[in-house]
Amino acid sequence: KKKKLLTEQPPKTEFDPLRSSLVEKEKKELEKLERRQAQELKLLVDQEIKFEEMRIHNEQKLRKVEEVDQAKRAEKERLQQEIQAKRKQQEETQRQILEKEEEQRRLKNREEYLKLQQKAKEQQEQERIHKEKLLQNQKLKQLKNKEFQEKTQKILEEQQQKIEAKRKKLEEKESKKRKILTEAYQKQALRNQETKLQREHRIATAKQQADEILEKKKESFERKQKEIEAKTKQLQEQKQTEQELSRQKAHQKSQEIRQILELSKQLEEQRRDEVQKKTELTQNKLAKKQLQKEQELLSRKEEQRASQEKAQLVFQKNHELQREKLNKIIEKQRKKEESTQKTIQQKQHQLKINKEIKNAKRLDRFENVKRIERQRNYYNQKILEKIEYDKKRMNQMIQAKEQIIEERRKRKVKADTEKKRILDMFDKTKNRSTEIVDYSQKVSKMLSTSSLSPTASSRNGSHANYSNLSSPGPKSKRSLRSSNSKKLEKLKEEHNNALKKLLDEEELKEYQREQLLKQAPKDQLQELEKQFGIERALASEKIINMSKKHAKIQKQF
């Protein structure tokens, strides 16, 4: 406004000096203002230019930073893709290797299973042949027993006929003698009464002497009979004491074994507690390594299972061989005992018959013949009873053998089911291994993403994932199950070793027994064989009890 006022030309008036000075002054001020405004405008423009330059510079800087970040991100993505591709390739190769190994293992197991089936069939065939042989032997034994009975009956009949003929002869002789005596008596009755009296006296004395001899023989026979009964009673008592001692020893041994098992159980529990504590301490540290170890453990477990199956088969074969050996030894011993008993009985019977024949010849009296006949009938009855007893015993032995065969068959069926169960478990472990591989892949992906992410939130996320991994879940249950199965396998191995040791000891003892029997004199053979028979029976009972106890412990576990 001032400028406008100044620029506007006022009306021409008269010159006024005061007014002109004011105008000049005002002009100068205006010029100053204009200059200052121009400077201020220039400063403002310069500042704007500087701000613009700074903005452009900052934008360029930001653009460069963004480009660098983008390049870094692209590089990271590329590296991540390469790592994932490598991991996928490794996993694929590993999967292919595992599949190949699995296929080989399956084929191997299949071959072993087929071999086992073949062996089982062969064993069944052998058992069938053995059963047929047993039946044939039984039939032969029955025929032999029948022949023996017929022979004994024939011998008895022949002896009876001989005794009857002898009795008739004696009766004839007696009748002749009586006739002669009556004739002589009639002739000499009138002539010589004294001779008659003397003869009667002589006959009475002879009769008395004969009665005395008979009484003495009867007493000696009864005394011998009592001695035999006392000896048999003594032998039975001795046998009972020996059996009682062997039972006590077996009981003591079983108690010792029970104590050892309890101690081993306590030690196992202590070890289990220690292992549990250690695993609880080290579980958080070894979470990453556990995945690798599980794969190694699976392979080891499969190898152990294969070795366990082989060991089980070897143990079963050894056990069956040992059982067959024991059965053969018991059968051999029984046959020996039967043959010796039969020979002794036959000899005793023959001796008694010879004695009685001698007595009959010596005495030559009808009463003695009758007594001999009664005794012979008694002995024949005893022999028949013995034959019946032997027949019953033979039937019992056959039934026992059939029971053993049935038990073997059941054991075989049980073994087949166990094999099937093991194969199922193997398939389950295979599926579980694939699950573990998938789980390990997921965990490795999570760990890789957590290591690549730069932000704090992603680090927190990886920490959360790690905590999830370390937290007890289905994996810990699987590890517990695997540890239990390991312990069970270890227990089975210990039981197998203990049973094998016992069988080896019994085999050594049997060898020592055979050596003793070879070196022993003939008069001690019978006693040694009886003693060894008791020892063998106890050994077989011990083996059966141990196997039952092991099965019970494994079932409880």
Range(s) of the domain holding residue 221? 192-262
- Domain assignment of residue 224, yes or no: yes
Structure-token match 């289990």, residue found:
272
pTM of the prediction? 0.20
Tokens of 162: 């001989």
- Domain assignment of residue 425, yes or no: no
Asked whether the beta carbons of 159 and 376 are under 8 A apart, the reply is: yes
- Domain assignment of residue 442, yes or no: no
Tokens of 32: 């100053």
Q: What is the pLDDT, as a whole number, of residue 366?
A: 59
457-466 residue pLDDT tens: 444 444 434 3
Q: Give the end of a domain, one of 222, 245, 262.
A: 262
Render 110-131 in DSSP notation, one character per residue. HHHHHHHHHHHHHHHHHHHHHH
Distance CA 352, CA 354 (A): 5
Asked whether the beta carbons of 308 and 489 are under 8 A apart, the reply is: yes
Where is pLDDT greater, at 340 or 42? 42
Q: What is the pLDDT, as a whole number, of residue 26?
A: 77
Where is pLDDT greater, at 95 or 391? 95
Cα separations in angstroms, 292 against 304, 440, 441: 18, 9, 11
317 and 257 within one domain? no
Single-letter residue type at 309:
E
Q: Give the end of a domain, one of 201, 229, 262.
A: 262
Distance CA 374, CA 360 (A): 13
Q: Which sign does the torsion angle of CA 253, 259, 263, 264 carry?
A: positive
Q: Which sign does the torsion angle of CA 462, 463, 464, 465 carry?
A: positive
Distance CA 498, CA 103 (A): 35
The domain tally of the chain equals: 2
Per-residue pLDDT at 542 exceeds 70: yes
- Domain assignment of residue 324, yes or no: yes
Single-letter residue type at 437:
V
Average pLDDT, rounded, for the chain: 71
- Domain assignment of residue 247, yes or no: yes
- Domain assignment of residue 550, yes or no: yes
Structure-token match 């072993």, residue found:
112
- Domain assignment of residue 211, yes or no: yes
Categorize the per-residue pLDDT at 70 as very low, low, confident or very high, splitting at 50, 70 and 90. Answer: confident
Q: Is 295 exposed, middle or buried (0-12, 13-18, 19+ CB in 10 A)?
A: middle
Asked whether the beta carbons of 166 and 369 are under 8 A apart, the reply is: yes
550 and 486 within one domain? yes
Q: What is the pLDDT, as a whole number, of residue 455?
A: 40
- Domain assignment of residue 101, yes or no: no
> Chain centroid to CA 388: how far?
42
220-267 residue pLDDT tens: 767 777 777 777 777 777 777 777 776 777 677 667 767 766 776 677
